[in-house]
Amino acid sequence: MNVLGIKNLCKAYPSFALQNVSFSLEQGKITGFIGRNGAGKSTTLKSIFPADDGRFQFFAFDHSGLPQVRAQL
Residue-level pLDDT, tens digit, the chain, 73 residues = 889 899 998 989 899 898 999 999 999 999 888 999 998 888 888 888 778 888 888 887 776 655 555 555 4
3-class SS letters over 36-62: CCCCCHHHHHHCCCCCCEEEEEECCEE
Burial of 9 (0-12, 13-18, 19+ CB in 10 A): buried
The total domain count for the chain is: 1
Reported pTM? 0.70
Predicted pLDDT of residue 66: 53
Predicted pLDDT of residue 20: 93
Is 2 strand, coil or helix?
Answer: strand
Predicted pLDDT of residue 51: 81
Predicted pLDDT of residue 60: 73
> Residue 56's domain spans which residues?
2-72
**Which residues does 36 contact at the CB level (< 8 Å), separation at least 6?**
none
